[in-house]
Amino acid sequence: MTLCGFNCGACPFAYLCIPMAIGAAIVWKQYAESTMQKKRFASQVSFLFISNLAFLVGSTGLIYTYFYCWEAPLAAMACPIGILEHAAIELNLTLGVYLAGFIGLVSVVFGRAACGWACPIGFLQDMIGIKRRVKSTLAQTVDRHGRWLKWAILLAIAPISYITGLMAFTEICPIGGLTATLPTLALDPGAYTYSAFFYPKMLFLAGFFALAVLLIRGWCRHLCPIGAMMAPFNRISLLQLRVDHDNCIHCGRCAEICPMDVDMPEHPASAECVRCGRCVEVCPVDVITLGFT
C-alpha cells in the first residue's frame, strides 16, 4: 500500500490528524495546565495514529476498544459494534466471546479510560465541545435521563440486527460517516453512488456534531454504545479515581470541571467517568488521585 499518494483529501492523517492537531493547538490551554493532561493529549494523538496503521500492519483481527470505523481508509482493527452485529446476524458465539473478552479485559483494567485517553471521537469532542455543564434544571433532567439512551442503543443493536439481517447500527453510524464515508468520498468523489442509508448517516453525523459542540462529550454521555459496553466496569476496574473524603473541602471545583458531569466528589466510580483526570488537577487540596488499586 502506498504510504502517501499525495492526495491529502483521502489521507486519514491529513483528514483527521492535521485538523485535530490544529484544534488541539487552539485548545492547548486545557492540555497544558498539567502533566497528566499533556500525557492524555499524547495518548489521544497516539491512538489516533494506531487506529490508522493499516499501511504498516495491514488488516488485523484485533478489535478497537473505542469508536473507530473499520472501513476508514487505513483502519487496522475491527469495529466492536460491527463485530457485535455480525455475531448477532450469524449467531456466531465465538465472535461474541472474542468481543466480550476484548472489551471485558480492557475495561476491567482501565474502566472507561479508553473513552478519555484513547478514543479519537472523544478526542474530537474534547476539542469542539463548548458547553461544559448543563445548568438549568430541565436540561439537567434531560441530560440525566438521556444517558440511558446509550444502553438502550447497545441492547437494541443485536436483536435488531438479528431480526433484520442488516448491520442495524452501522448502516446509519455517524462515526462511520465521519471516519470512513467522507474520507472514501474525498479519495474519489465521482466513483460512488449513495446507498439508501447515505443521507440518514449524514443527518446523524450532523446531529453528532451539533450534540458534540453544544455539550462537551455529548455523544459519550448519551449515545455511544461502546462507552455503554465499558461503563459498568468503572465500579470494579483496577484503574480508579480515589477521593480522600476526610480531607475534602467540598469546594465543588472537581464537579465544575468534569466534562461528563459526574457527581463529584461523591461518586468517583460513576459509570459516566472517562478517567480524564481533570478533577485531579483542579483539586486545591489534592484529595483526588487517579491510579491502579
Partner 1 sequence: MRRVIQIIALAVAALLLATGTMMAYDTARIFNENRCWGCLALDPAGKVFDGFWTTYPSIYGGKAGENVSHPGWIADALNHTPVVMLFFWYQGCSSCKVLWDNMRDMGTVTGGEADGDIAMANVTLYSIDFLAGGNQTRSQAFDVYTIDRGAPTTVILLKKDGAIYWYAFEGATYPKDKNGERMTVQALLEEALEETTP
User: Which positions lie near partner 1, rule CB under 8 A?
Assistant: 58-63, 69-71, 75-79, 82-83, 85-86, 89-90, 92, 94-95, 97-102, 104-105, 107-109, 161, 165-167, 170-171, 173, 176-177, 180-181, 184-185, 190-198, 201, 233, 236-238, 293
In the bound state with partner 1, the residue whose beta carbon lies nearer, of 19 and 101, is: 101
Residue from 86, 117, 65 nearest 224 by CA: 65
Q: Output phi, psi for 140, to 5 deg.
A: -65, -40
DSSP string, 82-141: HHHHHHHHTT-HHHHHHHHHHHHHHHHHHTTHHHHHT-HHHHHHHHH-------SHHHHH
Comparing CB distances to partner 1, the nearer of 44 and 161 is 161
Q: Which is nearer to partner 1, 102 or 123 (CB)?
A: 102
For residue 112, the cross-strand partners are none
In the complex, least distance from residue 60 CB atom to partner 1, rounded to whole angstroms: 6
Query: What minimum distance in Å lies between the beta carbon of 236 and partner 1?
Result: 5
Q: Nearest distance from residue 44's CB to partner 1, in Å?
A: 22
CB of residue 82 to partner 1, shortest distance in Å: 7
From the CB of 180, what's the least distance to partner 1, in Å? 6
Q: Between 41 and 102, whose beta carbon lies closer to partner 1?
A: 102
CB of 43: closest distance to partner 1 in angstroms?
22
Between 71 and 143, whose beta carbon lies closer to partner 1? 71
In degrees to the nearest 10, what's the CA dihedral of 224, 99, 180, 184? -170
Q: Which is nearer to partner 1, 42 or 105 (CB)?
A: 105
Q: CA of 39: how far to CAs of 72, 116, 234, in Å?
A: 26, 11, 21
3-state secondary structure of 180: helix
Nearer to partner 1, 104 or 146 (CB): 104
Three cell numbers, residue 255: 464537579
Inter-axis angle of helices 35-51 and 18-26, nearest 10: 170
Cis peptide before 189 (omega within 30 of 0): no
Longest dimension (CA), the chain: 64
State the minimum distance, in angstroms, from the CB of residue 16 to partner 1.
16
Q: How far apart are CA 72 and CA 61, in angstroms?
A: 15
Q: What are phi and psi of 184, to 5 degrees?
A: -65, -40
Q: How far is the CB of 142 from partner 1 (least distance, A)?
A: 30
